[in-house]
Amino acid sequence: MHKFRTVFRQVYLKNLRSGAFIWMVLAPIVIAVVGGLVGYFIFKSQENTKMAIVTSQTELRATLKQVKVSDLTIKKAITTTTAAQKALSQEKIDGYAEVTIVKNNLHVNYVSRTDGQSLPVTELNAQFTQLNLQFQAQRLKMSATQLATLLQPVQTKQKSVSFKDGKQVSRNDNQRAVNVMLATATAVIMMMFIMSYAGMIASEVASEKGTRIMEIILSSVDVKTQFLGKICGIFALIITQLLIYGVLFIGGRSLVNQIIAKQYPQIKALLGSLQLPSIWSTQILMTVAFFIVGILTYTILAAMLGSLVSAVEQVQQVIMPITLFALLAYFIGLMAANGTDSVLVKTSAYIPLIAPVVMPVRLATEAAGTSEAVISLLISAGLMVLLYFAALALYRANVLVYSDGNVWQSMRHSFNILTNRKRKN
């Protein structure tokens, strides 16, 4: 146990202090902060669309003052087409609407600048349609009761539902967007961790072989302890990074709830309408389990492949299969996040090395149930255990073998060593 702790501590502390790990932790934070600041300043600097509504019909001017659209500023001081055209040329407004009466109906002509903000034509058309109904009612001398009946909107009720474990569950319109964001974030984070830590563990093994220090290490530490210590050391780095993000997430959530949400009521209303999964919910627990199994599987595979090379320069070549598998899982995960539940997505959710990315996404979008996730997790965990023993055997056979050949030659050489050992035993 003492030797295991020594290997574990050496791998963990060496990489913890490295610039690569520090940047790996800071890069997503920097990107998130910069993206948030850019979005904030864009939101703060964005002005309402400015337009004018003009008419030559004196009897319509009072009626047109009723037009109100959110995020739209109507310049009521501009009442003529000539004044509107002048304001438009001076970029004081983004466009104007000229209202006339043609065959006893309101006729609206929109004019806008190509370099200005877009006019909310859909919302304006709905308002002008209502005003046209009022105009027709007045022309036909309808009573106030008849007009109110005519303007009565259609009563509609919309309900979004999903099915979880065979039971219908109500969902609001924003929940689908939240699920897609969570699913996409799951795929992105898995991809990021796999690419980062697979290269790290492979480089860790290859660098010791390249400096010929492995002979000295294995003279005092057995191969199994060395291999397991490296795997656990890298996994501890993963947990450390996740804990850092967890603390920042809790702090950021408090900041949003206590400061930002108070200043912007619309954000508070949006957050209140969302149903974020609890930390102890089945979805979160299963996602964490898939995350651990997936990262460990790729880490074990990378360590095994790293033992096949004799220099750090060959690491990128040897982890290329891992990169391709991770990219495949990532793209299928994005397909699942966008609502695609084809045969490819459903099948991939049970294929080890791909399932740890795809199945959490299907869980987040509620395309898969808990029972399906458990089956997929057991398959992935079973492969991880088998891969550990296979990787340990290959690591033991190849860790002291130095070859100038390519990766496939090294792998074939390792299998020959394993075969010869079995024959001797």
Most confident of 116-130, 175-189, 310-324: 116-130
Using one digit for the tens of pLDDT, what is the confidence trace for 198-236?
888 888 777 766 555 655 665 667 778 888 888 888 889
Tell me how far apart the terminal alpha carbons of the chain are, to the nearest angstrom. 28
Q: Are residues 199 and 144 in the same domain?
A: no
Q: Are residues 277 and 203 in the same domain?
A: yes
Using one digit for the tens of pLDDT, what is the confidence trace for 141-171?
777 777 677 667 666 766 666 655 556 655 5
Q: Are residues 142 and 213 in the same domain?
A: no
Q: What angle do CA 318, 224, 378 make, to 5 degrees?
A: 75
Predicted confidence at residue 424, as pLDDT, reads: 60
Q: Are residues 247 and 135 in the same domain?
A: no
- Provide, for the chain, the percentages of residues in helix, strand and coil under a 3-state DSSP scheme, each rounded to the nearest 5: 70, 10, 25
pLDDT at 419 over 80: no
pLDDT at 411 over 70: no
Residue 97 · residue 54 · CB < 8 Å: yes
Does a structural domain hold residue 6?
no
> What CATH number should be reported for the domain holding residue 100?
3.40.190
* Mean pLDDT, rounded, of the chain: 78
- For 131-138, the CB contacts below 8 A with 24+ separation are 131/63, 131/64, 131/66, 131/67, 131/106, 132/105, 132/106, 134/63, 135/60, 135/63, 135/106, 136/104, 136/105
Strand partners, 102: 105
Using one digit for the tens of pLDDT, what is the confidence trace for 373-409?
899 999 999 999 998 888 888 777 766 665 555 556 6
Spacing of C-alpha 342 from chain mean position: 20
Q: Which of 88-97, 121-130, 217-226, 382-391 has the lowest mean pLDDT?
A: 217-226
Count CA within 13 A, CB hemisphere, residue 62: 4
Which residue matches tokens 């920097």?
Answer: 30
pLDDT higher at 26 or 275: 26
pLDDT at 266 over 60: no
Predicted confidence at residue 269, as pLDDT, reads: 58
d(CA 411, CA 6): 29
Residue 95 · residue 110 · CB < 8 Å: yes
pLDDT at 30 over 80: yes
Which of 150, 182, 197 delimits the end of a domain? 150
Q: Are residues 127 and 234 in the same domain?
A: no
Q: Are residues 112 and 179 in the same domain?
A: no
Q: Which of 30-44, 47-61, 266-280, 365-379 has the lowest mean pLDDT?
A: 266-280
Q: Name the domain count of the chain.
A: 2
Mean pLDDT, residues 123-140 = 82
Q: Alpha-carbon dihedral of residues 344, 347, 352, 354, nearest 10 degrees?
A: 30
Using one digit for the tens of pLDDT, what is the confidence trace for 281-322?
777 788 888 888 888 898 888 888 877 776 667 777 778 888
Q: Are residues 391 and 314 in the same domain?
A: yes
Does a structural domain hold residue 369?
yes
Does a structural domain hold residue 41?
no
Residue 120 · residue 110 · CB < 8 Å: no
Most confident of 219-223, 260-264, 352-356: 352-356
Mean pLDDT, residues 14-19 = 85
Using one digit for the tens of pLDDT, what is the confidence trace for 232-259?
888 898 889 888 888 887 777 666 666 6
Query: Within 10 Å of residue 134's Cβ, how many Cβ atoms?
Result: 16
Most confident of 56-60, 277-281, 406-410: 56-60
Q: Are residues 106 and 238 in the same domain?
A: no
Q: Which domain holds residue 128?
A: 49-150
Query: Within 10 Å of residue 32's Cβ, how many Cβ atoms?
Result: 13
pLDDT higher at 115 or 354: 354
Q: Are residues 179 and 140 in the same domain?
A: no
Q: What angle do CA 377, 382, 365 make, to 5 degrees?
A: 15
Does a structural domain hold residue 17?
no
Does a structural domain hold residue 10?
no
**Exposure pattern of 198-208 as b/e (b: 16+ CB <10 Å)?**
bbbbbbbbbeb
pLDDT at 413 over 90: no
d(CA 192, CA 296): 14
Q: Are residues 364 and 243 in the same domain?
A: yes
pLDDT higher at 279 or 86: 86
**Ordered alpha helix ranges (H), 97-218:** 121-139, 144-150, 173-210, 214-218
Three-state DSSP at 160 gives strand
Q: Are residues 115 and 219 in the same domain?
A: no
Q: Do the strands 49-55 and 72-74 form a parallel or antiparallel pair, or are they unpaired?
A: parallel
pLDDT higher at 262 or 7: 7
Does a structural domain hold residue 28?
no
Q: Are residues 295 and 379 in the same domain?
A: yes
The closest of 362, 344, 334 to 371, measured between CA atoms, is 362
The closest of 305, 241, 232 to 12, measured between CA atoms, is 232
Full-model pTM = 0.67
pLDDT at 274 over 80: no
Confidence band for 179, pLDDT divided at 50, 70 and 90: low
Does a structural domain hold residue 300?
yes
The closest of 23, 99, 111, 116 to 64, measured between CA atoms, is 99
For the residues of 199-242, what is the DSSP string, one character each?
HHHHHHHHHHHHTT-HHHHHTTS-HHHHHHHHHHHHHHHHHHHH
Which of 150, 181, 208 delimits the end of a domain? 150
pLDDT at 177 over 60: yes
Predicted confidence at residue 330, as pLDDT, reads: 87
Does a structural domain hold residue 241?
yes
* 133-to-96, 177, 364, 380 alpha-carbon distances in Å: 22, 37, 46, 64
